[in-house]
């Protein structure tokens, strides 16, 4: 997927293109009528569905300093949330390359799901704030991409598409061979013929195949599925092509022809996953096994961590007890080093749990458990390579009562987070243990992100950590939620100027 120059794409039109777009349908969908040059794309760029292409072009071509107001005006005229969300995601897909890493500027795509999740969970008055933040962030990533490779996703090579009956096999073969050209056309064929569940069945596997990009591959697969549920399956093809391109990111030799550390856990797990008994789903809850696995994850290598999960499942330990150890370990890393690598431990475990809940294939679900354990060991090692990793343990946090009962307790806790993160975590745990409403803490944390968030990771981390409260067992959920204060926004930070612009643009 070599791409083309975005400037070339924006400056080139297709003669008579307006007639191809069914303008009456666009008006019926709530989009205003557009001139021919607004609804055309260069023949060397991927073209989206006619009902969304004009709005995507608007996001691409409007200067950053005017985009908030322009989109606000469109919304006031009837453009829907779903249309804006679709255009935002697709604009990122077409204009921002997931290279050299599935991260960095590509967070403009990865953050869309997180912003959408935050929007769904917010009160009506705040509903648009995460989406408008993501719109502005897209423009900064688009500008960065222009400075780097000035890339635009090209159209699929229709002459090379495999037959529909071989689409899935061709896609799997290309992905296993790390062949980008064959994977691109096979991805398009798969998206056209297999339905969304069938298309994503192999993507769940390849998204967790390797630790390159510190979990962003798994995060992208889960986020893409979730965005497609909101914007419509009809937009899947370019998104699936983008996923294939992102998942094949690697450095150095072709991984299919070499023995790289990033691939060893996967290869071992493909062998030992067969040792897990068919009865694994019916295992029993075991808090002792959770603590045992947590202790293993603090010390074990990635290969040892996966093998330990196999052993627990063979002993009849239920999968929820395994997941509790994963969530606890990810949040413990945040306590020990509130920085970028542990942050991604939380967002990756969140994505892997979503994949585990969604994937239908039994072996894929077992592999997710093994890969999750290996990833957490790798996150721990990566964090140790970034600096000090103090010996803090999530199960040893001592609750610490607020020093004063005057005023709002949550307000005091989030104010404390700006002074002493460890104390704020302990105070939050004491408040939750004392009967505090976790939903109120979650709502307060989310609103602070809306008001003060400045980075894609603010949305990615908060959406994952706050959502995970419902995925963690009762013994661990309060400790995990309290631990998130080590990285959440706090009350003492200045507000994000986009809030005022967004509300003004929406009238």
Do 246 and 282 belong together in one domain?
A: no
- pLDDT confidence bin for 43, thresholds 50/70/90: low
Q: Which residue has the tokens 């009849």?
A: 316
Give the per-residue pLDDT at 34. Answer: 37
Q: Is the model's pLDDT at 80 over the cut of 60?
A: yes
Kindly state the average pLDDT of the residues 55-60. 98
Q: pLDDT by residue (tens digit) across 210-247?
A: 999 999 999 999 999 999 999 999 999 999 999 999 99
Chain centroid, CA 428 distance in Å: 26
Q: Is 494 part of a structural domain of the chain?
A: no
In angstroms, how far is the first alpha carbon of the chain from the final one?
42
Collapse the DSSP code of 335 into the 3-class scheme (helix H, G, I; strand E, B; otherwise coil) and give the result: helix
Q: How far apart are CA 45 and CA 48, in angstroms?
A: 10
Do 454 and 422 belong together in one domain?
A: yes
Q: Is 122 part of a structural domain of the chain?
A: yes
Do 363 and 438 belong together in one domain?
A: no
Do 215 and 282 belong together in one domain?
A: no
Do 148 and 165 belong together in one domain?
A: no
Q: Is the model's pLDDT at 285 over the cut of 50?
A: yes
Burial class (CB in 10 A: 0-12, 13-18, 19+), 42: buried
Q: Is 491 part of a structural domain of the chain?
A: no
* Domain encompassing residue 274: 259-386
Locate 377 and state its tokens: 């060991």
Give the per-residue pLDDT at 3. Answer: 65
Boundary (domain end) residue, out of 135, 152, 169: 152
Q: How far apart are CA 229 and CA 207, in angstroms?
A: 18
Do 115 and 241 belong together in one domain?
A: no
Which of 151, 216, 213, 221 is closest to 187 using CA atoms?
221
Give the per-residue pLDDT at 129. Answer: 96
Say if CB 198 and CB 85 are below 8 A apart. no
Do 350 and 402 belong together in one domain?
A: no
Kindly state the average pLDDT of the residues 45-64. 96
Kindly state the average pLDDT of the residues 72-86. 97
Q: Is 498 part of a structural domain of the chain?
A: no
Do 11 and 144 belong together in one domain?
A: yes
Q: How far apart are CA 466 and CA 277, in angstroms?
A: 33
Locate 318 and state its tokens: 């239920």
Q: Is 500 part of a structural domain of the chain?
A: no
Lowest-confidence segment of 133-137, 328-332, 387-391 by average pLDDT: 387-391
Which parts of 273-318 fold into alpha helices (H)?
A: 287-297, 302-314
- pLDDT confidence bin for 314, thresholds 50/70/90: very high
Boundary (domain end) residue, out of 152, 177, 205: 152
Q: Is the model's pLDDT at 203 over the cut of 90?
A: yes
Do 457 and 332 belong together in one domain?
A: no
Q: Is 501 part of a structural domain of the chain?
A: no
Locate 398 and state its tokens: 């001592």
Locate 303 and state its tokens: 């290969």
Find the length of the chain. 507
Q: How far apart are CA 258 and CA 464, in angstroms?
A: 34
Do 102 and 22 belong together in one domain?
A: yes
Rounded to two decimals, the pTM is: 0.92
- pLDDT confidence bin for 475, thresholds 50/70/90: very high
Kindly state the average pLDDT of the residues 45-67. 97
Which of 295, 316, 279, 258 is closest to 394 using CA atoms?
295
Q: How far apart are CA 284 and CA 253, in angstroms?
A: 44
Do 86 and 191 belong together in one domain?
A: no
- pLDDT confidence bin for 32, thresholds 50/70/90: very low
Locate 245 and state its tokens: 């391109």
Q: Which of 7-16, 273-282, 491-500 has the highest mean pLDDT?
A: 273-282
Boundary (domain end) residue, out of 219, 235, 255: 255
Q: Is 506 part of a structural domain of the chain?
A: no
Q: Is the model's pLDDT at 415 over the cut of 60?
A: yes
Say if CB 432 and CB 480 are below 8 A apart. no
Do 146 and 179 belong together in one domain?
A: no
Chain centroid, CA 150 distance in Å: 24
**209: phi then psi, degrees, rounded to nearest 5:** -65, -35
Structural domains in the chain (count): 4
Work out the angle at residue 65's Cα, subtended by the Cα atoms of residues 94 and 90, and round it to the nearest 5 degrees: 15
Q: How far apart are CA 375 and CA 359, in angstroms?
A: 19
Measuring CA to CA, how many Å separate 110 from each of 26, 98, 106? Answer: 28, 10, 7
């Amino acid at each position: 997927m070599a791409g083309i120059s975005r400037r070339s794409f924006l400056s080139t039109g297709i003669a008579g293109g307006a007639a191809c777009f069914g303008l009456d349908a666009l008006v019926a969908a709530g989009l205003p009528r557009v001139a021919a040059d607004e609804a055309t794309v260069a023949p060397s760029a991927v073209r989206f569905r006619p009902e969304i292409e004009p709005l995507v072009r608007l996001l691409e071509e409007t200067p950053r300093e005017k985009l908030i107001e322009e989109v606000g005006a469109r919304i006031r005229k009837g453009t829907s949330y779903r249309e804006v969300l679709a255009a935002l995601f697709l604009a990122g897909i077409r204009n921002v390359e997931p290279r050299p890493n599935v991260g960095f500027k590509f967070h403009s795509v990865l953050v869309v799901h997180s912003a959408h999740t935050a929007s769904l969970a917010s009160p009506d008055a705040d509903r648009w704030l995460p989406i408008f933040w993501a719109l502005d962030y897209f423009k900064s990533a688009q500008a960065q991409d222009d400075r780097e490779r000035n890339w635009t996703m090209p159209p699929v090579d229709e002459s090379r598409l495999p037959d529909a009956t071989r689409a899935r096999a061709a896609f799997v073969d290309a992905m296993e061979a790390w062949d980008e050209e064959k994977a691109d056309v096979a991805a398009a064929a798969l998206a056209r013929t297999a339905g969304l569940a069938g298309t994503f069945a192999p993507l769940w596997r390849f998204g967790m195949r390797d630790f390159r990009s510190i979990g962003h591959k798994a995060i992208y697969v889960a986020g893409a599925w979730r965005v497609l549920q909101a914007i419509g399956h009809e937009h899947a093809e370019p998104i699936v092509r983008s996923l294939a391109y992102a998942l094949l990111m690697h450095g150095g030799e072709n991984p299919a022809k070499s023995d790289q550390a990033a691939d060893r856990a996967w290869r071992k797990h493909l062998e030992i996953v067969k040792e897990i008994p068919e009865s694994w789903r019916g295992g029993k809850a075991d808090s002792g096994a959770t603590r045992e696995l947590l202790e293993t994850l603090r010390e074990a290598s990635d290969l040892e961590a996966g093998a330990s999960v196999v052993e627990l499942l063979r002993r009849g330990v239920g999968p929820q007890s395994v997941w509790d150890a994963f969530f606890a370990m990810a949040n413990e890393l945040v306590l020990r080093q509130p920085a970028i690598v542990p942050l991604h431990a939380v967002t990756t475990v969140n994505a892997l749990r979503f994949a585990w809940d969604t994937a239908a294939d039994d072996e894929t679900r077992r592999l997710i458990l093994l890969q999750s354990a290996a990833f957490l060991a790798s996150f721990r090692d990566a964090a140790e390579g970034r600096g000090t990793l103090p010996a803090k343990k999530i199960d040893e946090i001592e609750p610490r009562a607020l020093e004063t009962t005057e005023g709002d307790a949550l307000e005091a806790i989030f104010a404390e987070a700006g002074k002493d993160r460890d104390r704020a975590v302990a105070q939050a745990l004491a408040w939750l243990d004392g009967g505090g409403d976790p939903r109120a803490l979650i709502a307060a944390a989310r609103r602070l992100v809306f008001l003060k968030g400045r980075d894609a990771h603010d949305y990615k981390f908060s959406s994952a950590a706050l959502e995970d409260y419902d995925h963690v067992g009762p013994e661990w959920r309060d400790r995990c939620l309290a631990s998130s204060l080590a990285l959440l926004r706090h009350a003492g930070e200045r507000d994000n100027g986009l809030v005022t612009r967004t509300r003004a643009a929406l009238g």
